[in-house]
Amino acid sequence: MAAALAQVEAAERGYLSQEEALSAAKEELLRMKRLVEALLLLAREGRVERADLDLAALAQREAAAFGVPYQGPQTLPFQGDPLLLTQALRNLLQNALLHGEGKGVRLVLEVAGKEATLSVLDQGPGMPEEALKEAGRPFFRASRAPGEGLGLSVAKKVAEAHGGRLELLPNAPSGLVARLVLPLAEA
C-alpha cells in the first residue's frame, strides 16, 4: 500500500505525471490483490467447497489462457473447489512461465489408478535440490524473479485440502515438473 500511496503523492507534488502515477499505482495494487488472494486461499485450507466439475475442461481453459499446450483427456469428472483448483493451476503456470523462462511450458493431465495428476512442465533452468526441499513453504523464494513466494505454498495447500499433494521434480534434461496429484472420487 505504501508503494501505491507514494506514486499518488509523487503525482500530487508534480514529480510524476498523473498517467505515470496511475499506471504505477495500478501495477502495485494488482500485485497487492494477488498477494491478498493468495493469503486468503492459504487461510481456507481444509475448507474446500466441493462441486462437480470437469477437471480436463478447467485445465484446457487455463492452458489456453496462458498460451501453453494441453495434453490429456477431453473430459474428466471431478469433485473439488473450482476456484481453488484454478488458482493453484494458475500459480504453477505463472511460475513455469516466469522462473522457467517460458521455455517448453506445457500442461499435462493424466489419470493413473485412483489419482488425477495435473503436471506443469518447463524446460528452464530448474530449481536447485536444496530449494526443492524448501519450496512450498510460505514466502520462500528460490530466485530473485518478481513474486511474493506464495504461489507454490498456495498450490500445496490446495492440493492438501483436496486430499492430494504437490510434487516438484527435475524435468530431464532441464527444467521443473510441478504436479498437483489429486484423488479421484470412488465410483
pTM: 0.71
Instruction: Tell me the pLDDT tens digit for each residue of 115-174.
Output: 999 999 998 876 667 666 656 555 455 556 555 556 788 889 889 889 999 998 887 778
Comparing 165 with 45, the larger pLDDT belongs to 165
What percentage of the chain exceeds 70 in pLDDT?
Answer: 79
Length of the chain: 187
Write the CA distances from 137 to 72, 104, 145, 167, 182, integer angstroms.
29, 26, 17, 13, 20
How confident is the model at residue 187, as a pLDDT? 46
* Exposed e or buried b per residue across 166-186, where buried means at least 16 C-beta atoms within 10 angstroms of its C-beta: bbbeebeeebbbbbbbbbbee
